[in-house]
């Protein structure tokens, strides 16, 4: 099955994918004593009511308190979610906009796998550890990813994927495309059995040439996924569940 839309530069590579994906919005917020938990719940439920999925996480470190991953067919609903969270007293400190996609290096992927990438069901059961980071491919001198021909890139990505598959059952990866939509080219969301699984996975894959030579990484944000009422309770934010 050909998952591409056409040929890339010089006609040697596919330029993209032929199936539209879902809209994806990552929001990372700080909360304070005046944050309205009931308002947060209302914003999340309103987004879910339009057919979008919303994943919430209690974040660790100074970068944010509340992590919200929303994805689905309605872009307007994602905008309304952001508006609702801000109105409830959340301060967005970092955000990321992207689309689910099937990689151009996944030509011939079975339809079941294609659907899992374009329309994932999140969060995975029993994987509470959460990590998000953006990344791009380098364009520097001999380490310019986009000067490689398609076959060379494909070989590197196959090796990179083989490293990731070693963590099957321990880590689930969601890679979303953001070229032209945000500051980086991809957003990477990881769900793991534990923080150690996430750390081991990222460390192992750093040695692959696709990462070691050609990858640039943005900030990492980590936390623990849970139902919204539990996340708000962990953050000390009151809501209708109280």
Catalytic residues: 133
Give CA–CA dist 80/74, Å, rounded: 10
- Name every residue whose Cβ is closer than 8 Å to that of residue 165 and which is 6 or more positions away in sequence: none
Q: What number of H helices and E strands is found in the chain?
A: 7, 11
Indicate the pairing of strand 91-100 with strand 23-30. Answer: antiparallel
Give CA–CA dist 138/217, Å, rounded: 10
Secondary structure element (H or E) that encloses residue 155, with its range: helix 150-165
Instruction: Return the residue matching tokens 């069901």.
Output: 121
- Backbone φ and ψ of 32, nearest 5°: -145, -175
Indicate the pairing of strand 215-217 with strand 129-137. Answer: antiparallel
Q: For the chain, what is the radius of gyration of the CA atoms? A: 19
């Amino acid at each position: 099955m050909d998952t591409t839309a056409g040929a890339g530069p010089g006609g040697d590579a596919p330029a993209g994918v032929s199936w539209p994906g879902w809209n994806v919005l990552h929001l990372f917020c700080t909360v304070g004593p005046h944050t309205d938990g009931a308002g947060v719940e209302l914003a999340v439920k309103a987004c879910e009511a339009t057919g979008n999925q919303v994943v919430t996480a209690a974040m660790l470190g100074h970068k944010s308190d509340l992590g919200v991953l929303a994805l689905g067919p309605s872009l307007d609903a994602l905008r309304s979610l952001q508006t609702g969270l801000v109105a409830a007293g959340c301060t967005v400190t970092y955000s990321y906009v992207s689309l689910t996609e099937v990689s151009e290096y996944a030509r011939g992927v079975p339809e079941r796998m294609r659907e899992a990438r374009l329309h994932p069901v999140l969060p995975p059961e029993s994987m509470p550890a959460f990590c998000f980071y953006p990344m791009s491919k380098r364009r520097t001198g001999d380490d310019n990813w986009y000067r490689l021909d398609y076959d060379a890139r494909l070989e590197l990505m196959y090796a990179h994927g083989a490293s990731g598959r070693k963590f099957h059952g321990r880590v689930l990866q969601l890679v979303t495309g953001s070229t032209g939509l945000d500051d980086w080219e991809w957003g990477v969301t990881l769900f793991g059995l534990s923080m150690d699984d996430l750390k081991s996975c990222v460390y192992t894959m750093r040695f692959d040439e696709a990462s070691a030579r050609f990858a640039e990484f943005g900030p990492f944000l980590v936390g623990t996924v849970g139902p919204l009422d539990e996340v708000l309770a962990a953050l000390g934010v009151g809501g209708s569940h109280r």
